[in-house]
Structure 1
């Protein structure tokens, strides 16, 4: 396409991203570039956003995966796909309820004062007040999401999907109610999921106390615990079956110090006879391992705490005490009885804490709703084994199978008010029915008070957001989704749930091939600080991505994250990375501005014969980099793609071709050079656009006069083959210029200081066409009749050694040059000696492969030649 300068917008004087990014983003949205058309005949590409919590804000981990999802979406859009990137947020049941309850407490109230309906109204109000924060942050990042399809896990459509799945699973016998051990939060008064439990080392006390007689000659057993209050719920003492110390006690019972019951002594292989006394107390209702043992031995499982963590219903003096108060009181009471053995000793151990409240969680036996996962988990595993979903990187497949092949039944109920209420209703005579979305419970029935775990509704996200259970145009066009981009750290908690639900409801999609919710699963790592430490509030090393957007621009943030992205690997970032990326955007801007000032335009390229070696070289390199970047983005190797584009743009286009272009323009090749500049920039900016959309949009419009790079065609393979011969000559020219520059630097010559020089062998090297370029880049003057060389630089090129004779009289520091050459001579002699030593070693020669020996002989020949050359150069230096 040919564009006149009049149709192309002018570039600003400098690139200040904060002045342009918001307007550019709004232009894209207003133009409808991100709005997907389900009726389109284009091939579909779809991504659903991992929904962030509605009460939160985007942290660096969010920004990381948003950049990757956006890069994929923008590239596919340019490739001609109908792209749907669907945004939305999670209702974050525990987080939102905790936030609003905290507000109520500050106002001197509580949710119980309001009542359930009023409290839920209050949460909806809070959602409306803060729900726009994340959306604004996504806009500032440049997310090309379809805002017309934004969803929320508590909106009407998704609620209908939740009820539909629950009823289907209930009717299929996959959902049941049972008493099991759960993670309990006494502050929130609810069960919480494993992902909401964070383990940390704490200082505690290991207390050893005595069951049975205080007389050593009579039956007794010593046990130890860090949670002394749980002994009020002990229902057994366990020892190893082969432990001779306790063989006579197995099958007997010992009196409980505070309860009117005796505690049986049982034998179980779980017990380690080498640890402590070799005996352990068993509290089935308050410890996961004890619960399993209680099931094996059919032990009673009394719960000794209420929902607030207060000791209750034990019939002891400890009832009414908080669990930590009870811990101290029980110890004192045992001490009074003489049952504390030895001294209480400090003990540092790992304790689970609630992520939301910071309190130690309490393992607690509780009546909850559960999902039977065995068949669901098998289907999720088989989906990857069969190749229906492909995990990237493949190295994380074992982690996937480790989760789904050993999954335990899932507790889906939460004792909260905010969330999807469990659609189970109870009749006046104990009847239990599950009510679907289009059904009504009989009169007089009462609904279960619990709500569903947030992961239940978010597990339906890929298809519930597109209108399931209805047969919608979006589902027909965009489901299953093309790829899920998420962190490996929530592989089990979210990804496994989606895969289980997706495979479970696959038969509801008719005869379409939709066995999985996503075709590809791309797992990225964690974003860490520049020291490799995990970012956290407690460490104070977190980075707000919006701070970087403010200080360096969205493109700088995006390029930093994408450049460091490698499948499954963590990346470390710091301020210097953002500065480097900002400098890259500035470099690109300045290069484009220079090109436009010199007439750069997009037009049909002249025939190869009309182009210079440098033209053909840069076009060939562009094609090679296009293929490399294309391959990287296709295989989720974002880092490789960005590295290739960065080094081409900075090292080859800006540092070499632009300098060559100045010479070509001055020598009369302005028209063809302008076209090459325009063509290269057009394609380079399109290749960079998915990662750095703002600066590339501004530059591409100015270069091409086109509407928007957002909807420009993605670069395709060039029909013109890469000119390897031209590339080889330019490589030789670069090597020659680099060596001359190195010599100049060693001599302390100023960068702009010109010296006279004669290059011997330029024609033989095929570089005659580059003579003017070499002179310009190396700051050389053609010699006059009185020219006398004072120094010689020999450069090994592909065609042989080329000699550069330079007159540095009055300009060269002879002592510095002698020092440089002596350093090179020492290195060459060391290489020579090393090679001679190996070739003189008969043992080495008898064992080394012929290819290795030949390589060393070649190295020796090169070293000998270098020694002779450098000695000759030293001899030619003037006497100081």
Structure 2
């Protein structure tokens, strides 16, 4: 977003433009809100507290559709809470993103023919910090473009000094409590990066592969077992083969031995329930050092661990000499060939399998046995401040099961609890240079000293009787470790701060379901353990943003959308270039180019931030993925334009002073003969406004942003703009001064409320329009900081203003107008042609309705009858419609044949309704079980259908 200094000195509200253009509005108000400090947190003891954590995006990142959706929801909640009078804090931050950031900087060095090892750790980290300072704030600038009302003064970076202090403190305390240990365990290993990676950084997709069936001869020469595997190279690390103990085919072999092919050793045949009786041959090889399931089997049976791979995925010294030094896949080919030559290859079959690849390098991940640091998440601890004696995972489980934390929607509770009930110890070390270096020092004798600083480690060493040199552990902590602490570390922990007192727990966490385990559960574990509080009261779990067809957005598919492009617009050639740049496959690039040109023949229009936000809100149904279609943006851009034009209409029709606009002191002068005289139409729109306010508040309480958006849209477009503005025109033209003042007051009061009601979703346009509308309602905007809608009170429904009689009155007007419009359409009467309406019904109501009917139905006159026969006699053959008990005739020359056809269709429709109603009422079960009021209502409907049917049949007879 342009800086305020780059925008005209004249604000967009000095003079409301004739047409709605979002760019200058957004360019002005974004910096202006920060200047006025609308998001500054308050600590008023008399107010309630609302806080929310921004899921810290990677410092390497740029804004994507998921971010934009997530932040739309968060900002809506924050603005609503702030306007509702709460102390409000939205905590921003960015994550150092260990792997992603190190890759970016290493690639830059590669282009210069320099490696990080050439530089050394200290110089390399200097390069990373340089890059972070110059390029690392891209995503925060883009977040500002979305209008996020964040307290940027509270911004943190997970590697800054305060956050780092908290990370070290947590690590040391957990180690002192016996909850962190170092051990050799199986982890996901990326051979290209040379580090352990989390499950979240592993993407498993189905690929075409092979299943090799290998003969394992029995050691006593009595036969053989056929073992099927998708990774034949790992047989070099086999330590057993296993069968199901209930498999009758192999029970007699349990306890015997087989000769391991190509290796000069024998391995036992064991029994384990893990083996599926019905899959393959029923015989499975066991390689505990290279398979997670096999590792568990090995632990149960106390089998040895034989690692046959180096850290860069080459065969090591534990394998036969002829394979040592080969890349794992070269070794696979050689082993398969050698098995075939030795007559040990039974067969090879095509096989679909899930292949785990590193999301950064796309290399196949290897389960690797390495020395790592772990958190013992299932170990009971008396130091747990939330539930003394509970494990870290147990406390996190209890926080949800006892209701301290609510998940929305609730179906995610079972997913959360199932994961925690089956959780494994958490590997927290990474073999990187960028990140929080593990605060552990080693003596030459292998002793480990975990401390807050090297000087503290030396004191420990001396106390332990060691006086030699110390070397620090070279590994860094998993990024998720520091991210798990942000609910309390970002608020000043381990210090006791006012922010911790007010804003922990935070009110709600808004996040995608894909990081429930990796981030959400770990925040609960760490926060409960160290503070005794839950990190947040509610977790609002949303789906993923997909394309219009429900496909996952990806570079390879060429279906990605950039939220900034939707805001600013982008030309077709630029969009094609953006989608195809970096693709290695020319055919893929050509396919994506064709798809893009077909989907966006004119590029992407500039929709503005508000239209994009409203689109996201309207799609935010609980528990569903978001299928994003830019055509929805067009519709909500039109909504913003409608609101803009409605405001200009109101301003043009309310030019007077406060007294003429209806905002002078009223006292007892309100009424038919006093200062203000409110019509049923005025009372109707105010009544609907109360209902809308209640629906919107319910939507906020239930996190149903789709309902919030739809309620606001329907009220503004369908009721206020399409109906009330037209009704108001009539009242301003024909009303008494008291009625005109009441109309202006209603126009302004409802519009000003609409702007406050919609502000959390569409902040830029509502702020701009409110600045022009609010002064006309008598709102004093004297203090510069207060001259913003963002700090006004959020509308609260007033049920006492719901007026059922006025609603019924206006619904009758609507029905008559709709009937007239339908008749005009069916009779092909031009909308510009004014025609007479003859109508039979209550005289008092119809006289009051006549001015509105003349204008809204484009009528030349309204003639009121009390007797249907007289009306029909005077207008024989005119097209007729029935609205409840009212009978309408448009006095126009008609095609008698066409009118007979129209009446015949309506008679047939009513006959069908009569049949359905009679069938329902003749059903004894329905009459016996349905509530009395339902049965009475059905009888009333039947009577109405029969009466209207009779009238139309009579009308048709007259035409004959």
Pick the TM interval, shorter chain. over 0.9
Q: Is this contact kept in 2: 1:208–1:341, CA < 8 A?
A: yes
Is 1:236 the counterpart of 2:240 in the alignment? yes
From 527, 533, 540, the counterpart of 2:551: 533
Cα offset for 1:730? 0.7
The answer to whether 1:603 aligns with 2:663 is yes
Q: Residue 675 in 1 paired to residue 741 in 2?
A: no
CA distance in 2, matches of 1:32, 1:60: 27
| Cα distance in structure 2, aligned partners of 1:297 and 1:198 | 31
Higher RCO, 1 vs 2 (CA within 8 Å, ≥6 residues apart): 1
> Relative to structure 1, is the Cα distance of residues 397 and 526 closer, same or farther in structure 2, using a 3 angstrom cutoff?
same
Equivalences for residues 349-368 of structure 1 within 5 A: 349-368=353-372
2:39 touches 2:151 (CA, 8 Å); kept in 1? yes
1:572 deviation in Å? 1.6
Q: Among 432, 439, 444, which residue is 1:423 paired with?
A: 439
Please identify, of 552-561 and 104-113, the stretch whose mean Cα deviation from structure 2 is larger. 104-113
Counterpart residue number, 2:4: none
Displacement of 1:542 in angstroms is: 2.0
> 1:602–1:704: 8 Å Cα contact kept in structure 2?
no
Tell which deviates more after alignment, 779-788 or 300-309.
Answer: 779-788
Give the TM-score normalised by the residue count of structure 2. Answer: 0.86
- What is the DSSP-based 3-state SS (H/G/I as helix, E as strand, rest coil) of the residue aligned with 2:514? helix
Contact 1:283–1:290 (8 Å) recurs in 2? yes
Query: Among 897, 903, 914, which residue is 1:832 paired with?
Result: 914
Question: In the alignment, is residue 471 of structure 1 matched against residue 531 of structure 2?
Answer: no
Structure 1, 16-25 or 629-638: larger mean CA deviation: 629-638
Q: Structure 2, unaligned stretches of length 5 or more?
A: 1-11, 379-390, 459-467, 569-605, 656-660, 776-780, 782-786, 865-872
Q: Distance in 1 between matches of 2:77 and 2:627?
A: 22
Task: Give per-residue Cα distances to partners, 1:112-144, cap 9 Å, x unaligned.
Answer: 111111111111122122212111111110000
Kindly indicate whether residue 795 of structure 2 is the aligned counterpart of residue 715 of structure 1.
Answer: yes
Deviations 1:799-851 (CA, angstroms, capped at 9, x unpaired): xx111222112xx4444433322221222223334455566788998999988
Aligned to 1:381: 397
After superposition, the C-alpha distances for 1:304-359 in whole angstroms (9 at most, x for unaligned) are 111111111123311111111111111001111010003x1111111111111111
Which stretch shifts more, 835-844 or 29-38?
835-844
- Residue 774 of structure 1 corresponds to which residue in structure 2? 853
CA contact 1:207–1:340 (8 Å) conserved in 2: yes
Q: Which residue of structure 2 aligns with residue 806 of structure 1?
A: 890
Distance 1:554 1:608, change over 3 A: farther
Maintained 8 Å contact 2:13/2:769? no
Comparing 813-822 with 638-647, greater Cα deviation is found at 813-822
Gaps of 5+ in 1: 1-6, 508-514
Superposition RMSD on alpha carbons, in Å? 2.4
Contact 1:8 1:704 in 2 (8 A): no
Aligned to 1:47: 52
Structure 2 Cα separation of the partners of residues 841 and 73 of structure 1 = 53
Q: Distance in 1 between matches of 2:925 and 2:706?
A: 45
Match of 1:372 in 2: 376
Contact 1:285 1:301 in 2 (8 A): yes
The correspondence of residues 299-698 of structure 1 with structure 2, limited to 5 A, is 299-313=303-317, 314-342=319-347, 344-374=348-378, 375-436=391-452, 440-442=456-458, 444-507=469-532, 515-550=533-568, 551-599=606-654, 603=663, 607=670, 610-668=677-735, 669-698=739-768
CA shift in 2, pair 1:438/1:112, >3 Å? closer
Contact 2:837-2:863 within 8 A present in 1 as well: no
TM-superposed deviation, 1:784:
8.3
Separation in 1, partners of 2:799, 2:905: 48
In structure 2, C-alpha distance between the alignment counterparts of 1:83 and 1:598, rounded to whole Å: 38
8 A Cα contact 1:63 1:545, kept in partner: yes
* Whole-angstrom distance in 2 between the partners of 1:854 and 1:649: 35
CA contact 2:216–2:226 (8 Å) conserved in 1: yes
Distance in 1, matches of 2:494 and 2:817, equals 67
Aligned twin of 1:510: none
Post-superposition shift, 1:792? Answer: 4.5
Contact 2:686 2:801 in 1 (8 A): no
Worse overlay, 328-337 or 480-489: 480-489
For 1:848 and 1:21, locate their aligned partners in 2 and report how far apart those are by CA, in whole Å.
56
1:567 counterpart SS class: coil
Tell me whether 1:264 sits opposite 2:344 in the alignment.
no
Deviations 1:595-629 (A, max 9, x none): 00000758369646520000011111111111111
- The aligned residue for residue 818 of structure 2 is 738
2:226 equivalent in structure 1: 222
Q: Note the C-alpha offset of 1:854.
A: 6.1
What is the distance in 2 between the residues matched to 1:700 and 1:260? Answer: 84
Partners of 2:699 and 2:88 lie apart in 1 by 20
Total equivalences in the alignment: 857
C-alpha distance in 2 between matches for 1:72 and 1:498? 21
Q: Which moved more, 1:570-579 or 1:689-698?
A: 570-579
**Kept in 2: contact 1:535–1:542 (CA 8 A):** yes
**1:237-284: CA deviations, max 9, x gaps?**
111223333233222222222222111111112112322211111100
1:85 aligns with 2:169: no
Report if aligned partners of 1:789, 1:806 keep a CA contact under 8 Å in 2.
no
Deviation at 1:105, TM superposition (A): 2.2
Superimposed CA distance per residue, residues 391-448 of structure 1 (whole angstroms, 9 cap, x where no aligned partner):
2222322222122222111111111111111111111221111112595332721111
In 2, Cα distance between the equivalents of 1:825 and 1:392?
Answer: 50
Q: Tell me the CA shift for residue 476 of structure 1.
A: 2.7
Q: Could you tell me how far apart the structure 2 residues matched to 1:479 and 1:858 are?
A: 58
CA contact (8 A) 1:164 1:437 kept: no
| Residue in structure 1 matched with residue 946 of structure 2 by the alignment | 864
Is contact 1:214-1:338 (8 Å) kept?
Answer: no
Aligned CA distance change for structure 1 residues 714 and 845 (closer, same or farther; 3 Å):
closer
- What secondary structure does 1:244 align onto? coil
- Displacement of 1:662 in angstroms is 0.5
* Equivalent position of 2:3 in the other structure: none
Rounded to whole Å, the distance in 2 between the matches of 1:690 and 1:250 is: 68
Please list the CA deviations of residues 181-228 of structure 1 after superposition, one character each: whole Å capped at 9, or x if unmatched: 11111111111101111110111110001111699x723211011111
For residues 177 and 808 of structure 1, the distance between their equivalents in structure 2, rounded to whole angstroms, comes to 93
Deviates more, 1:566-575 or 1:780-789: 780-789
Residues 848, 630 of structure 1: alpha-carbon distance in 2 compared, 3 angstrom cutoff: closer
Q: Give the structure 2 partner of residue 205 of structure 1.
A: 210
Task: Measure the CA separation in 1 of the matches of 2:395 and 2:722.
Answer: 54
Q: 1:840 to 1:93 in 2, by over 3 A?
A: closer
For the residues of structure 1 that align with 2:927 and 2:489, how far apart are their CA atoms? 70
- SS of 1:211's equivalent in the other structure is strand
- The SS at the match of 2:321 is coil
The answer (yes or no) to whether the contact 1:185–1:361 under 8 Å persists in 2 is yes
Bigger Cα displacement from structure 2, 472-481 vs 304-313: 472-481
Contact 1:687 1:714 in 2 (8 A): yes
Please say if residues 488 and 568 of structure 1, whose CA atoms lie closer than 8 Å, have aligned partners that are also in contact: no
Evaluate the alpha carbon distance shift between residue 789 and residue 779 of structure 1 in structure 2; reply closer, same or farther with a 3 A threshold: farther
- Whole-angstrom distance in 2 between the partners of 1:147 and 1:130: 18
Shift in Å at residue 787 of structure 1?
Answer: 7.1
Q: Say if 1:793 and 1:301 are closer, same or farther in 2 by CA, change over 3 A.
A: same
After TM superposition, the score normalised by the length of structure 1 is 0.93
After TM superposition, give the deviation of residue 684 of structure 1 in Å: 0.7
